[in-house]
Structure 1
Amino acid sequence: MEAPICIRPAVLADAGIISRITERSIRVGCAFDHRNDPQRVEDWLAQLSAENISGWLADPHFYVNVALLRDKPVGVGMATTTGDIAFCYVQPEWFRRGAGRALMEDLQGWLRIRGVLHINLVSTRTGEAFYRRLGYRESAPPITHKGLQTLAMRKSFDSSA
């Protein structure tokens, strides 16, 4: 039996590992989306530098979390107070083992506590089925941005809960 996945809020010292996890997840796990085009990969990664991540970690409008398995970081996610999931990345060898779901449940809980009723995200084709399994639905037609096909998705909480 596999050890449980633990989720914790990220701290400033995590900026480097968050950047490395996102880079590896994009380079390896999202190859279907970027088709190993170096420019597409670099465009995608440009916003995910350790410096940018440090800024998000210091900003109270962002919540960044880390998934740990046996104290080893295996995934990261980020939400904003405006109700957006900015990202959810998992190391490719940990795909389909619960880390992404645990990250998303934590992000959704953080948003719900803040009174958010509708969560928005933008998915690549690689992530679309994952988000659909979590209850997200297409909220706009697919678009192509910098060579990547993306899909706006939304999930609403039951306002009576």
Structure 2
Amino acid sequence: MSEGYSIRKTVLGDRDALTNLCMRSKQSNGYDDAFMAQCADELRVRDEWITRDAFWLAETGEGKPVGCIRLSVEEDGMTGELATCFVDPDWQGRRVGKVLFDVLYAEARTRGLVRIGLDADPFAEPFYARMGFQITGRSPSGSIPGRTLARMELVLDTETD
């Protein structure tokens, strides 16, 4: 699909490799081991994410995961949540995230979603802003007591082509 990698839906056998990818990507932002230990459970990929949500994996021809993105849909059926988005540190800046977002946007349009929300790590805020998300407030961290994250939202164009 793209230079050196392809995108596919995740399967249950990807769980541990996805968790490893999420941890490596997060730690590449300079977080120390103590911080990462606090985040470990929140970053651990769960089977139900793979079976319930729209979850994609970017991988090399050799099967090495280089990125992932997960969209969950809220009960209202109109709002999505970008619940997981990570790119391997060695693959950042190589358009993996952009290509994963293209897949996510196509899925959101197919499902008729009108908005996608996310809680952004401070290091990821600029990337999400480039993808069209805007800060709408703050959300408590799911891992670190007292820490808040930017709450961001993208209102999707509901016009059909």
TM over 0.5: yes
The Cα shift of 1:148 comes to 4.2
User: Normalized per residue, which structure has more helix?
Assistant: 1
Where in structure 2 are the equivalents of 1:2-151 lying within 5 Å? 3-28=3-28, 30-31=29-30, 34=31, 36=32, 38=34, 40-49=35-44, 52-59=45-52, 62-70=53-61, 71-82=63-74, 83-140=80-137, 142-143=138-139, 145=141, 146=144, 148-151=147-150
The Cα shift of 1:10 comes to 0.4
Deviation digits for residues 96-143 of structure 1, max 9, x if unmatched?
Answer: 111111112212221221110111011111101101111111111x45
8 Å CA contact 2:119–2:139 kept in 1: the answer is no
Q: Unaligned stretches of 5+ in structure 1?
A: none
Q: Unaligned stretches of 5+ in structure 2?
A: 75-79
Paired AA for residue 90 in structure 2: E
Q: SS at 1:152's partner residue? A: strand
Stretches of 4+ aligned residues off by more than 6 angstroms: none
Deviation digits for residues 56-101 of structure 1, max 9, x if unmatched?
Answer: 1122xx1111012334320111110220000100111111111111
8 Å CA contact 1:74–1:90 kept in 2: the answer is yes
Aligned residues: 150
In structure 1, distance between residues paired with 2:70 and 2:99: 13
In structure 2, distance between residues paired with 1:109 and 1:73: 21
User: What's the C-alpha RMSD, in Å, of the aligned pairs?
Assistant: 1.9
With the length of structure 1 as denominator, give the TM-score of the two structures.
Answer: 0.83
With the length of structure 2 as denominator, give the TM-score of the two structures.
Answer: 0.83
